[in-house]
Amino acid sequence: MSFWNDPLKVAADWLEGIFTGWGMDAVLAHVLVAFLGVLLLIIILMVVDIFLVWIERKVVARFQDRLGPNRVGPFGLIQPFADIIKLIIKEDTTPGNADKVVYNLAPILSMMSVLILWAVVPLAPVMLGTDLNVGVLFLVAAGAIGTLAIIMGGWGSNNKFAMIGGFRQVAVMVSFEIPMLTMLMIPVIFSGSMNMNAIIAAQNPIPFWVLSPLGALIFLIAAIAELGRAPFDLAEGESELVSGFNIEYSGMKFGMFYAGELLHAFTFGGFWAILFFGGYRFFGLEQVSPFLAILILVIKAMLGYWVIMWVKYTMMRIRIDQMLAFNWKFLTPLAFALLLVTALMNALLSPAPTWLYALGMFLANVVTGWIALEIARSATKQERDRIEGPTKTAEAHH
């Protein structure tokens, strides 16, 4: 077997051969090689995370007509390392009367909740951590750890502002998890599997965003809210809560929260690509080399990450009552309606030719979205009439 066709398998067999040659038990050697593989993936992700800081600062600078980091190193590339050194040497403080175990465990859980998601990410057809047949369910379970980390950080800090920030963020995350998890079922319906590799393989020749553009959009909106990024960053509303749940954290503990947020955004960009944009698939190029497949997935994940940044740096923060009303009164009912429509159309059109199946699914999404917007428009008009009165509303239209 060539290294370029299946590099992980070849490298793992070679390492196991070395360890068993040294007299190590075969099972122990296999476990050690698996551990080294996990460690290598974590190191690569942390290095990527460092450069995500530079990318985010450069992107926001362009949106705001600035230059961004441009002094430390060429194009400011070494600036993130200077930031890391600054965070490491800053004093590590712990609030008085804080729950030290909970307080110190929260940033670790926040970062861990992101890293373990990559266990089920198919990087290439032959390169994936764990080929779970319930990969989508694992995504749901692992994401819940991030919610736990935030409430632990807010509660363990012994600070009323941190606690309020934690409660607000958890309220947002739990609320928007419902439409996001509902949209996870749409690729499962199309592929007939919860396995991530099977979902990617099923997007041949038509990616799922063509079959369900509304589903891809709802998943993106809910993912942005789940990440706590603008316009849904109520936990860190500086004008109201100073910094939110992480106000009492300093040094690398704060850095872990910040790094976890950036890597989480990139990770969700990757899952958006896997679930709706074909993952590592791109006109058969993924069959040329696993390394090319990884490059394709990273580019798609970066495009998703760029969209998330685009939304963050161009939209204003909204009030928490408006945000939760938007979720419970519009996004969640729409997600459930779209899931029912998708399941019904899939049952009706499954025997049909591919082009008719795709056209029917696409039109079903368009009609569902149009009906939802008309209902929302009518509801908002009634609300304006109730608050302002019919006369003022009519005058505003004229």
Task: Report pLDDT digits (tens) over 345-354.
Answer: 999 999 899 9
Domain stops at, among 49, 64, 89: 89
CA distance 376 to 160: 37
Does residue 347 sit within a domain? yes
* Tokens standing for residue 346: 């899939």
- Mean confidence (pLDDT) of the chain: 88
pLDDT attached to residue 303: 94
- With bands split at pLDDT 50, 70 and 90, how would you rate the model's confidence at 201? very high
> Residue 127 in contact with residue 203, Cβ under 8 Å?
no
pLDDT at residue 211 is higher than 70: yes
> Residue 299 in contact with residue 333, Cβ under 8 Å?
no
pLDDT attached to residue 108: 92
Does residue 108 sit within a domain? yes
Q: Are residues 140 and 56 in the same domain?
A: no
CA distance 114 to 341: 32
CA distance 134 to 286: 24
* Nearest Cα residue to 199 out of 292, 270, 119, 276: 276
Q: Are residues 302 and 207 in the same domain?
A: yes
Q: Are residues 56 and 118 in the same domain?
A: no
* Nearest Cα residue to 247 out of 106, 56, 52: 106
* Tokens standing for residue 271: 């899952």
Domain stops at, among 46, 68, 89: 89
User: What domain range is 53 assigned to?
Assistant: 1-89
Distance of CA 8 to the CA centre of its chain: 26
Three-class secondary structure of residue 65 per DSSP: coil
Rounded mean pLDDT, 250-271: 90
Helix (H) / strand (E) element for 314: namely none
Q: Are residues 44 and 127 in the same domain?
A: no
Distance of CA 260 to the CA centre of its chain: 11
Task: Report pLDDT digits (tens) over 10-19.
Answer: 888 899 999 9
pLDDT attached to residue 130: 83
> Residue 14 in contact with residue 33, Cβ under 8 Å?
no
pLDDT attached to residue 156: 92
> Residue 95 in contact with residue 266, Cβ under 8 Å?
no
* Tokens standing for residue 224: 């942005």
Q: Are residues 50 and 184 in the same domain?
A: no
Q: Are residues 22 and 142 in the same domain?
A: no
Highest averaged pLDDT of the listed ranges 30-34, 240-244, 319-323: 30-34
Find the largest Cα–Cα distance for the chain: 88
In this structure, the number of other CB atoms found within 10 A of the CB of residue 370 comes to: 10
Rounded mean pLDDT, 103-122: 91
pLDDT attached to residue 1: 57
Task: Report pLDDT digits (tens) over 17-74.
Answer: 999 999 888 899 999 998 998 899 999 999 999 999 999 999 989 888 888 888 888 8
Domain stops at, among 89, 110, 134: 89
251: alpha, beta or left, given left = phi > 0 and alpha = psi -120 to 50?
Answer: left
Q: Are residues 121 and 85 in the same domain?
A: no
Q: Are residues 275 and 156 in the same domain?
A: yes
pLDDT at residue 249 is higher than 70: yes
Residue type for 151, please? I
pLDDT attached to residue 384: 85
pLDDT attached to residue 102: 92
Domain count, the chain: 2
Q: Are residues 80 and 144 in the same domain?
A: no
Measured CA to CA in angstroms, residue 204 lies from 207, 219, 302 at distances of 7, 21, 22
Q: Are residues 104 and 180 in the same domain?
A: yes
pLDDT attached to residue 238: 52
Q: What percentage of the chain carries pLDDT values higher than 70?
A: 95
CA distance 285 to 280: 9
